[in-house]
Chain A
Amino acid sequence: MIFTVLVALIVAYIIRHYLFTLAALYHKKEQLPYSAHETEYEPTVSVLIPARNEEHVIERILQRMTELTYPKEKIEVIVIDDASTDRTGKRAKKFAEEHKFISVVHRGIEDGGKGKPDVLNCGLKHVSGEIVYCFDADYYPQRDILEKLTACFRDPKVGAVQGRVTVLNEPNTLVTRLVALERTGGYRVDQFARDELELICQFGGTVGGFRKSLLEKLGGWDPNMLTEDTDLTFKVYLAGFKIKYVNHADCYEEAVEDWRSYWHQRSRWAKGHMQCAFRHLWPVIRSKNLRLKEKIDGFLLLNVYFVPIFAGLAWILGAALFLLQPLSWTKILWAAMPISFYSSVGNFAPFFEVGIGAYLDGRNRTYWLLPLLFLTFMFNMLICTKALIDLCISKITGKKRHAWSKTVHNGNGNHYIE
């Protein structure tokens, strides 16, 4: 019985991602009412760049900020130096001295190091723009990314926007190549389809923005959540707004390069996402601001990091049933397991979703890596299981704040740009 339920859940995710793949393949021609040199709607924007020990990459993004095509008189860039012990603060200050629209907020050791949500809330106090964007320090956006994203805010129902993330240092290691594939499936197909089908688009924590008024109304970023972005996503929808995904608003990121960093990053994502599931599941189901299809998608999205755990349990149970009590129905359900190993986990996607994403992007040489996605899935099974155990222990011990594991950026993608 338990095995049947687990397989049914996994098959539900497979069907969901199959529908997303179809939606991404056969999208309509016009995605956004955006035209170059947009002059009708140009609100003031603030760009927050949280930075802690990012000396290898901070100059790259700040240089890019000076190259943005959005009118400089309507943009302000606020770098929040979060108690860095390297030259991040100095390098950012040098840019602030040369460009009036860039400013730096320094946080001391006593205030700093408490995680990204805390840093962003600090930055929010200094914001004067109508729209607030966030970019991580290791990111490298397109020059006209702000125009592409800001155009969406002409719709009063849009509370937030999210652009696309592409991996800059993809050729470096196997991990970066697999992460790049995950991003292709997660953004090019998954997010794109959710926008196309008017479901729950996720704010990814970076390459995105909010209406300042809405952000303040929602109380900013919750410092107790490890994935403040997912938390805000659901707060936006529960408040009656929506998030718009803009596929052609592209931004490069520096992906993790080794399995250890991958583990730490995804552990934080898994724990944070599960926290959001515990917090928002019931409000999503009860909300009067969400349509039925949004509630279903919201339910599936919130539980997505439990899927590897379900898959692992189903694997153990299925193998046991197959060996001990080999009825024909167990054999049939057991056959569903290979396909289920590609269920989505956060930004990840089933192999067919990733493959179609690569096809749509014209990335022909990456198909050969698809079979290796099982490595990340097996890894994620362990990550998600440990994350759930850690979270349960935290609940029992009453621990509210979780340690924030910062991803180290070495600037290894810089040479692809210079």
Chain B
Amino acid sequence: MLKCVLVFLLTGNVERFGHLKVRPNFVHMAVGSGFAAVIILSHFQLVQILDISALVAIIFFNLLFVFLLFPLEGTLLRKLALLFAGNIVGLLWYLIQLSLKEASMFFLSTDAFTIITIVAKPLIDFVWIVSIWSLSLSVLASAKRKTEGLERS
């Protein structure tokens, strides 16, 4: 529906969105959105521990995942499992960073690790977001190929 509205707004051509070849899986998107919302809200419970920027990065990841991967072909269960696993990896990523930061403060009495993580933040965050997203896309694409192969045989 969003795509239809977007195409209409951008092209002004009502006829176009009646001929879409591939329709996004809106049901999966709706379920994925709900699931992502639950995960994000549970992350908010950890706001005392996690940085605000970590929470925002996790929200970004969920948005990209739900709106770009959930509409694709594939079973709902697989998509939910990948989304859940991605969020767990993200959470662990930030918890490990936090642990290293606290450990360096305690044992080395220095803020060096904090400064390094702040300066290199874009690269550090990018590593897990893109890796998990790419891996998930790869899993969905491989499953799609296997299904197509089985259908042909």
Contacts and interface: CB of A to CB of B under 8 A. Distances in A.
Contact of B130 (A18, A197, A337, A370): A370
B61 to A, nearest CB: 9
Given A319-B119, A323-B118, A25 B22 contact: yes
B22 A26 contact: yes
Nearest to A364: B141
B15 to A, nearest CB: 10
Interface residues of A, number: 44
Q: Main secondary structure on chain B at its contact with chain A?
A: helix
Interface string A301-332: 00000000000000100010011000010011
A201 to B, nearest CB: 14
B53 A371 contact: no
Given A29-B21, A197-B10, A319-B118, A335 B130 contact: no
B16 interface: yes
Interface in A150-199: 197-198
Interface in B126-153: 126-127, 129-131, 133-135, 137-138, 141-142, 145
B78 interface: no
A259 interface: no
Contact of B68 (A21, A337, A373): A21
A352 B131 CA distance: 11
Contacts, number: 127
A364 B138 contact: yes
Contacts of B115: 323
A26 B137 CA distance: 17
Nearest to B123: A374
Interface in A344-364: 351-352, 355-356, 358-359, 362, 364
A370 B20 CA distance: 28
A339 B64 CA distance: 10
Interface in A263-318: 293, 315
Contacts of B51: 331
Interface residues of B, number: 47
A335 B20 contact: no
Nearest to B18: A28
Contacts of A219: none
Contacts of B135: 367
B10 A337 contact: no
A32 interface: no
A370 B19 contact: no
Contacts of A416: none
Interface string B1-43: 0110011001100001001111110000000000000000000
A68 interface: no
Which applies to chain A's interface (DSSP): helix, strand, loop or mixed?
helix
Contacts of B24: 25-26
Given A22-B3, A331-B53, A364-B141, A337 B121 contact: yes
B141 A351 contact: no
A23 B124 CA distance: 30
A356 to B, nearest CB: 7
Contacts of A340: 122
A335 B57 contact: yes
B83 interface: no
A84 B95 CA distance: 61
Given A319-B118, A335-B125, A338-B125, A355 B53 contact: no
Contacts of B119: 319
A19 interface: yes
Interface in B49-72: 51-57, 60, 64, 67-68, 71-72
12 contacts: A328-B52, A334-B53, A334-B121, A335-B55, A338-B122, A338-B125, A339-B60, A352-B64, A359-B137, A362-B141, A370-B133, A371-B130
Interface of A: 18-19, 21-23, 25-30, 197-198, 293, 315, 319, 322-323, 328, 331-332, 334-342, 351-352, 355-356, 358-359, 362, 364, 367-368, 370-371, 373-374
Interface of B: 2-3, 6-7, 10-11, 16, 19-24, 51-57, 60, 64, 67-68, 71-72, 115, 118-119, 121-127, 129-131, 133-135, 137-138, 141-142, 145
Given A337-B122, A367-B134, 20 more contacts: A18-B67, A19-B6, A26-B3, A29-B21, A323-B118, A331-B56, A334-B53, A335-B56, A335-B125, A336-B56, A337-B121, A338-B126, A339-B64, A340-B122, A341-B126, A352-B68, A356-B68, A367-B135, A367-B137, A374-B123
